[in-house]
């Protein structure tokens, strides 16, 4: 688990890594995360809306270059992001719409302390366009998953899931909207569980 029981009362510093809109970042900032505190926002997108949301929420926020690749970090850059978070005493990293795979130094340094939210009931529909995949497949139930991050794409051990029914007339937009509402409940709840030490770490 992330915390020893003896640490239960101390504040746990959390970094959120995001690429875009930032609604999950906001949900984490304003939701009940127990003794977890959102202390830092780092984005790989200079124009991300999440930067504005961070300044409105009074959270230290910055853009850092991810390197030359589109879907992963450059090795040197991943090391810089990792070092930056370590220097700020970050203990838990929450990915919230970070459109980039983490494989190298960050995963090693924060192993078992990086979590992600994904808009499907994993292991179904990993990767991009999860809501579209669910509609195309014709599932009657879908939802969202908070899980540990490992070296795969949306493959780490599951912490918590929330489900919703798919309606006959759902579009990607309507389905995504209902899933997102559940994401905003699930993510703070998962963080609260981890920070209270009541969830056994499986990595």
Q: Candidates 34, 119, 143, 197: give the one binding ligand GAR (CB under 6 A).
A: 119
What whole-number distance in Å separates Cα of residue 159 and Cα of residue 190? 7
Q: Candidates 150, 170, 183, 189: give the one binding ligand GAR (CB under 6 A).
A: 183
* Exposure string over 75-108, b if 16+ CB within 10 A, otherwise e: eebbebbbeebeeeebbbbbbbbbebebbbbbbe
What does 21-57 look like in DSSP terms, one character per residue? --HHHHHHHHS--TTEEEEEEEES-TT-HHHHHHHHH
Q: What residues numbered 1-20 form the site for ligand GAR, per CB under 6 A?
A: 18, 20
Q: Candidates 180, 185, 199, 201: give the one binding ligand GAR (CB under 6 A).
A: 180
Residue of 30, 118, 129, 147 with catalytic role: 118
Nearer to ligand GAR, 25 or 81 (CB): 25
Nearer to ligand GAR, 1 or 64 (CB): 64
Q: Candidates 28, 117, 149, 191: give the one binding ligand GAR (CB under 6 A).
A: 117
- 185 in contact with ligand GAR (CB under 6 A): no
- 118 in contact with ligand GAR (CB under 6 A): yes
Nearer to ligand GAR, 34 or 97 (CB): 97
What whole-number distance in Å separates Cα of residue 36 and Cα of residue 57? 15
- Whether omega for the bond prior to residue 123 falls within 30 degrees of 0, making it cis, is yes
Q: Of how many residues is the chain composed?
A: 203
Catalytic, 118? Answer: yes
Query: Which residue number is nearest to ligand GAR in terms of Cβ?
Result: 97
Contacts of 68 (CB under 8 A, 6+ apart): 74
Find the shortest distance in angstroms from Cβ 8 to ligand GAR: 28
* Catalytic site positions: 118
Q: Which residues bind ligand GAR (CB under 6 A)?
A: 18, 20-24, 96-97, 117-119, 130, 154, 180, 183
């Amino acid at each position: 688990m992330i915390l020893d029981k003896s640490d239960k009362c101390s504040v746990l510093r959390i970094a959120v890594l995001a690429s875009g809109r930032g609604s999950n970042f906001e949900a984490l900032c304003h939701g009940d995360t127990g003794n977890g505190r959102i202390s830092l926002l780092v984005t790989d997108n200079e124009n991300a809306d999440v930067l504005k949301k961070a300044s409105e929420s009074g959270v230290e926020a910055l853009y850092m270059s991810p390197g030359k690749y589109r879907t992963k970090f450059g090795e040197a850059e991943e090391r810089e992001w990792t070092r930056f978070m370590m220097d700020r005493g970050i203990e838990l990293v929450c990915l919230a719409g970070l459109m980039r795979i983490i494989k190298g130094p960050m995963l090693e340094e924060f192993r078992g302390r990086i979590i992600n939210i994904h808009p499907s009931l994993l292991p179904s529909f990993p990767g991009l366009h999860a809501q579209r995949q669910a509609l195309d497949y014709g599932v009657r139930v879908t939802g969202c998953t908070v899980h540990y991050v490992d070296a795969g794409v949306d493959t780490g051990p599951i912490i918590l899931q929330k489900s919703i029914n798919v309606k006959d007339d759902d579009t990607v937009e309507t389905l995504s909207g209902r899933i997102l509402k559940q994401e905003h409940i699930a993510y703070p709840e998962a963080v609260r569980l981890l920070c209270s030490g009541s969830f056994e770490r499986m990595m």
